[in-house]
Amino acid sequence: MTKNKIGKQTLVFNNKPKIISACSIVGVKEGQGPMNTWFDRILEDDTFGEKTWEKSESKMLKEAIVTALNKSGKEKTQIDSILSGDLLNQLMSSAFMARDLQIPFIGLYGACSTMAESLLMGSVFIDGGYGSNIIAGASSHYCTAERQFRLPLEHGNQRPPSAQWTATAAGAFVLSDEKNYGEEPMLIERPMGHELNPKSVINVKKDICVTHGTLGKIIDTGLKDANQMGAAMAPAFVDTVLNHLEDTKRNITDYDLILSGDLGNIGKQIAIDLLKDAGLNQKDLIDRYDDCGSMMYEQEQDVHAGGSGCGCSASIFTGYVYKRMKKGEIKRALLVSTGALLSTISPFQGESIPGIAHGICVEIC
């Protein structure tokens, strides 16, 4: 057993990489949802002034990264590398974002699990002394995802009740090997009618660090319906949570919050059932477990089974979770982004949907 690994799948970050800043940006629909007071910026227009959806998404990711960088008080030249990914073929959002920033770039693909994957890999870099300041990010956009994975928006196709809505959202964290002693300028830009909820203003400043990362393995239960993503990913989430608890010898009651990335309303219920079957106390679970996809939209917003996409957990981790931790309201959280590693053509070749989930433990330190 190596010094920074415990159990089968969990890495331990003994040097406790600090999360010194974060930024969340979401689209119009996400800005109308129940989480809207937690985001740093809500777009007035999902095109973000660009001529193609892909460029809109790339600009949104870049804005999240640059804003997180500005909030961190670091200079661009102090950033050792950017670890980032998205859902687009060949990581188009991330590649064009990184081109503009001229910082060494590591492209990651974990489908919607990418935010936890980038945070995990970034923590390895900081904890191991391979960098002092690392940016971890991820994004997704409803319009790029629909076009790429389903049908162009112009087609106006109907969505089944089990379908999820890819969040138009991006998030970025700055990880550092030293605490951020400066004041964090909030830099919140919000359109008219979305005034900031005083609850989301950070007045108590806690230091937040990443203590563990649990690498996910692929779980594929043979499900082939690409409109049942939550069901396809739930077993991978459950596998990662159970491995995390076993490796760390902890109980779920050791956490104030356990989040899955984008199981949605159906997948969340399956995850609860599976975790209950695995012996976890249902009340303890329901008290602290939620899903970013379920949190993102109101029932009335007509997104059917909830939100999805890399940006879903990216924006909720960097918005809601980060700010509540910064305020001291959450002391320890297990953040598990979930991904469905199907490709644009694998379903047409008769393949089922491989699920994956990477977990990160963050706590006030």
Residues near a copy of itself (CB under 8 A): 1-5, 9, 11, 51-52, 54-55, 80-81, 85, 87-92, 95-96, 98-99, 102-111, 117, 121, 124-125, 127-132, 177, 215-218, 220, 341-346, 349, 351, 354, 356
Backbone angles phi, psi at 322, to 5 degrees: -60, -45
Shortest gap between Cβ of 106 and a copy of itself (angstroms)?
Answer: 7
Which CB sits closer to a copy of itself, 73 or 107?
Answer: 107
Length of the chain, in residues: 365
Shortest gap between Cβ of 347 and a copy of itself (angstroms)?
Answer: 11
Diameter over CA atoms, the chain = 55
Which CB sits closer to a copy of itself, 188 or 347?
Answer: 347
CB atoms within 10 A of CB 47: 15
Shortest gap between Cβ of 362 and a copy of itself (angstroms)?
Answer: 18
Shortest gap between Cβ of 87 and a copy of itself (angstroms)?
Answer: 8
Short-list 323, 61, 315, 336, CA closest to 167 = 315
CA distance 271 to 297: 19
Q: Vertex 233, ends 113 and 319: CA angle to 5°?
A: 40
CA distance 278 to 275: 5
Which CB sits closer to a copy of itself, 130 or 160?
Answer: 130
Backbone conformation region of residue 49, classed left if phi is above 0, alpha if psi is from -120 to 50, else beta = left
Shortest gap between Cβ of 151 and a copy of itself (angstroms)?
Answer: 16
Strands 165-166 and 257-260: unpaired
Which CB sits closer to a copy of itself, 170 or 257?
Answer: 170
- How buried is residue 32: exposed, middle or buried, by Cβ count under 10 Å (0-12/13-18/19+)? middle
Shortest gap between Cβ of 132 and a copy of itself (angstroms)?
Answer: 5
Which CB sits closer to a copy of itself, 43 or 116?
Answer: 116
Which CB sits closer to a copy of itself, 91 or 259?
Answer: 91
